[in-house]
Amino acid sequence: MDSSAVAPSTPRWNLDRPFLTGRFHQDTIFTSESRGSIADSFDARLDKAIGCYHASIQELIVIDDVLSALVGIEGRYISIKRVRGKEDTVAFQVDPSMGLTLQESAKRIFPLCESYLLINQFVESRSLSKHGLVNHAFAAALRALLLDYQALVAQLEHQFRLGRLSVQGLWFYCQPMMGSMQALSIVIRKVSANNFIGSTVLNLLQSQAKAMAGDHVVRSLLEKMIQCANAAYLRILERWVYEGVIDDPYGEFFISENKSLQKESLAQDYDAKYWQQRYSLKDDVPSFLATAAETILTTGKYLNVMRECGHNIQVPVAENSKLTSVGSNHHHLECIKAAYDYASGELLNLIKEKYDLMAKLRSIKHYLLLDQGDFLVHFMDIAREELSKKPDDISAEKLQSLLDLALRTTAAAADPCHEDLACCVEKTTLLKRLNTLKDLEISQTVSDSNELEEQLSITGLETFSLSYKVQWPLSLVISRKALTRYQLIFRFLFHCKHVNRQLCAAWQMHQGVRRLDMQGIAISVSSLLCRSMLRFINSLVHYLTFEVLEPNWHVMHNRLQTAKSIDEVIEYHEFFLEKCLRECLLLSPVLLKKVERLKLLCLRYAAAIQRLITSSVDIPTGIVSNGSLETEKYKRLKLRSRSQTLKLAPENASVIESILKFERDFSAELQSLGPILSNSSRAEPYLTHLAQWILGVGKDQ
């Protein structure tokens, strides 16, 4: 029984005064003090042993005593003793002086008497509140059976008083009930010994009914007991599948509720288990509901979500759809399926229509998957100085205000969901963050080397991310775990965009220098290398966006349109994110480290070439940013730069050597990445296009 279920207490007098409940025979204790023979114990109470009477008189006395024993009352020559060491077991004893034929006749009926006592004791004990509704219903059915049994005993006694009942006649009338009472006794002993409640009692009755399949009478009686015991259980089930309410005061239902798990955890905790564990199945599911257990659980969960949203919805129930009984026609399963279909459809419509799930997902795609890049370009321009700081030095408030400015001054302002966007700055690099998420199915493992992080001075550009506010019930689909996976993809894309911008700035400087007629060997070699790096990063971004994110998004979008339940929506959304993470190389640490090294080389080259050119030639900012100058300024700069050419000649060799070193390092990394991609593409076909392009770049080098 569930420890949280509190049962009403039973009056103490009902336990202390057994004479009020029919359990008086239990006070006759078979102790070590009565060490004398059985004959002595009978002689102590009676003036005359039964063997002293004529056989016909003995038969009458035995019939009278057996009739009393049938209802748990001791006779003159038949006593009831509790078996030592077995508190719930009693034994019937006869006077040894009784005729052997009569003894055997009486002993054949004693199992029925014992069954009655056991059943009667079970009815009294299991009617207490703490034993649950199923035991209450089972005990009530047994009480009705005992009334019929007692009526039979009363009729036999009437026949005896009329002189029409013999010992053989008594056995004839008792024999049909023997099988039924013993079958019930087997169930009751197991229930009492193990203190079973709820569905365990129902399963025990079911298994006993199957075991008695050859005896039609006994099986019919057990099936009647099952129907009566089921009635209480089905009322609990009916409230769950039609209202989403667990009305289970004694913890008997096969669905448990963990109230410590709150829906708010979905939007806050990466490992939130609300949807999986707020309501869960217990081990003891009734056998007649085993095939529909998951459907029943899900139906109630759907109704609960709608109730949490303030929609007190109830499944419409026709008179013939009530779960009042369980039969071989499986009508109860049809009712459960109908309730599931209704609850599933209503919740899906609620989330899709009222809460507009697809609009939220499209908004997340615009911002976290960079589907609309105009706001990002503007943001990177105005936040460049702040993002260049170390993560601990960045002001989150300033970044947020800059993001709001970028959103309001671009096409994103037309999106009603843009206000749900927020800035966040992580403390670790992308690789380290991936290593902390143990639930990701990372395909390869690499040594925990901090070489890359030692080489790279971590700034906001490597740790910046976006967050998104999601309210209940959309947090069922867009949970904290889902948002974290979106953020991983965003960080990778954002850094690729940053590398691309740095290389574009270097390329613009090359173009500016060319306009000054300074097209020496160093500039030519650097220009070729810059073009190769740009081709690499542009193709990588193209692969991530057009080869991975867009196709997978359209597949998910089409699947969501045909989803039949919220569980299917969650499944399709999680599959989309998992596939995107894998195809974006984020679940392949070896490949990801190679790509990060290549991006690091590109950033170092862009920074170095800008320093080299700006230190060698006094180029105004206009050339770098706009690539053009006013005519007069251009002519003056052109004359001045020609005069500097001779002065720079001795330094040209070292500049060329630096550029060639970058070229060698970049080519070596590309060549080492090529075979890895080629081998991986055999197992992962999505890498084929990227592998072909990478190998092409390597050949160009």
**pLDDT per residue over 391-403, tens digit each?**
888 888 999 899 8
**What's the one-letter identity of residue 649?**
A
For residues 286, 288, 293 and 297, what is the CA-based torsion angle, rounded to 10 degrees? -80
* Residue 79, SS3 per DSSP: strand
Predicted local distance difference test score (pLDDT) of residue 300: 93
> φ and ψ at 256, to 5 degrees?
-110, 150
Question: In angstroms, rounded to a whole number, what is the distance separating the alpha carbons of residues 568 and 516?
Answer: 62
Bridge partner residues of 577 (DSSP): none
Rounded to 5 degrees, φ, ψ at 93 are: -125, 145
**pLDDT the model gives residue 201:** 93
* CA-based nearest residue to 302, from 247, 365, 238, 350: 350
Give the C-alpha separation, 115 to 122, whole Å: 10
The encoded tokens of residue 405 equal 């400015």
The model's pLDDT over 586-607, given as tens digits with 9 standing for 90+, comes to: 988 888 898 999 999 999 988 8
Average pLDDT (51-60) is 90
State mean pLDDT over 461-484.
91
Asked if 211 and 123 touch (Cβ cutoff 8 Å), the reply is no
Q: Are 576 and 478 in contact (CB under 8 A)?
A: no
* End-to-end Cα spacing for the chain: 73
> What DSSP line would sit under 3-21, residue for residue?
TT--PPPPPTHHHH-GGGT
| Whether residue 174 has pLDDT greater than 90 | yes
Token pair of 46 as six digits: 């009676």
Instruction: Report the alpha-carbon distance of residue 689 to residue 683 in Å, rounded.
Output: 14
Name the helix (H) or strand (E) containing 229.
Answer: helix 216-243
* Contact in structure between 1 and 251 (CB atoms under 8 Å): yes
CB of 14 closer than 8 Å to CB of 258: no
The three-state (H, E, C) secondary structure of 360-429, written as one string: HHHHHHHHHCCCCCHHHHHHHHHCHHHHCCCHHHCCHHHHHHHHHHHHHCCHHHHCCCHHHEEEEECCCC
When pLDDT is cut at 50, 70 and 90, the band that residue 321 belongs to is: low
Task: Report the C-alpha gap between 267 and 269 in whole angstroms.
Answer: 6
**CB neighbours (10 Å) of residue 618?**
10
d(CA 428, CA 161): 96
**pLDDT computed for residue 455 by the predictor:** 41
List residues bridging with 280 in a β-sheet: 256
* Residue whose tokens read 């081709």: 535
Give the per-residue pLDDT at 86.
Answer: 66
Question: CA 174: distance to chain centroid?
Answer: 55
User: Of residues 627 and 5, which shows the higher confidence score?
Assistant: 5
- Is pLDDT of 1 > 60? no
190: three-class secondary structure by DSSP: helix
* Structure tokens belonging to residue 303: 């109704």
Residue 579 has pLDDT above 90, yes or no: yes
Q: What are the distances in angstroms from CA 86 to CA 82, 193, 620?
A: 7, 11, 103
The burial class, CB within 10 Å (0-12 / 13-18 / 19+), for 112 is: buried
Residue 663: name the closest of 698, 615, 614, 611 by CA: 698
Strands of 29-150 (E only): list them: 78-82, 90-94
Q: Which of 272-281 are b and which e, b meaning 16 or more Cβ less than 10 Å from the residue's Cβ?
A: bebbeebbee
Q: What is the mean pLDDT of residues 49-56?
A: 88
Q: Name the E strands within 48-168.
A: 78-82, 90-94
Measured CA to CA, the distance from residue 677 to residue 687 in angstroms comes to 7
Report in angstroms the alpha-carbon separations of 559 from 111, 186, 533, 563, 571.
Answer: 65, 54, 38, 6, 10
Contact present, 206 and 226 (Cβ < 8 Å)? yes
Cβ count within 10 A of residue 515 = 16
| Residue 313 backbone dihedrals phi, psi, to 5 degrees | -90, 145
Closest by Cα among 28, 56, 53 to 41: 28
Per-residue pLDDT at 458 exceeds 70: yes
DSSP annotation string for 270-339: TT--HHHHSEEE-S---GGGGGGHHHHHHHHHHHHHHHHTT--------GGG------TT-HHHHHHHHH
Res 629: pLDDT = 40
In contact, 237 and 253? CB cutoff 8 Å: yes
Give the separation between CA 104 and CA 108, rounded to whole angstroms.
6
pTM score: 0.80
Mean pLDDT of 466-479: 91
Amino acid 520: pLDDT:
58
Q: What does the block give as tokens for 165? A: 């009942």
Cβ atoms of 481 and 274 closer than 8 Å? no
Alpha carbon 226 to chain centroid, angstroms: 32
Question: Could you tell me which of 605, 414, 454, 442 has the C-alpha nearest to residue 526?
Answer: 605
The whole-number pLDDT of residue 496 equals 93
CB contact at 8 A, 421 and 403:
yes
pLDDT in tens, 513-544: 765 555 556 677 788 888 889 988 988 898 89
What is each CA distance from 343 to 279, 295, 340, 476, 560, in whole angstroms?
16, 11, 5, 16, 18
Residues facing 563 on adjacent strands: none
Q: DSSP code of 8?
A: P
**How far, in Å, are 246, 256, 279, 297, 506 from residue 283 at the CA level?**
17, 10, 13, 13, 65
State pLDDT tens for residues 12-49: 666 665 555 555 554 444 433 344 444 554 544 555 88
C-beta atoms surrounding 449 within 10 Å: 10
Helices (H), 516-546: 521-542
91 in helix, strand or coil?
Answer: strand
Q: Is the dihedral of CA 179, 181, 184, 186 positive or negative?
A: negative
Rounded to whole angstroms, how far apart are CA atoms 622 and 638? Answer: 14
Residue 10 confidence (pLDDT): 66
Pairwise pLDDT comparison (445 vs 507), residue with the higher score: 507
**Mean pLDDT to the nearest integer, 553-580:** 94
Q: What is the mean pLDDT of residues 344-352?
A: 93
Average pLDDT across the chain, whole number: 82
Say if residues 591 and 669 touch (Cβ distance below 8 Å).
no
CA distance 280 to 298: 9
Strand runs (DSSP E) across 579-634, as ranges?
none
Least confident of 345-359, 410-424, 479-493: 410-424
Q: What is the share, in percent, of the chain residues with pLDDT greater than 70?
A: 81
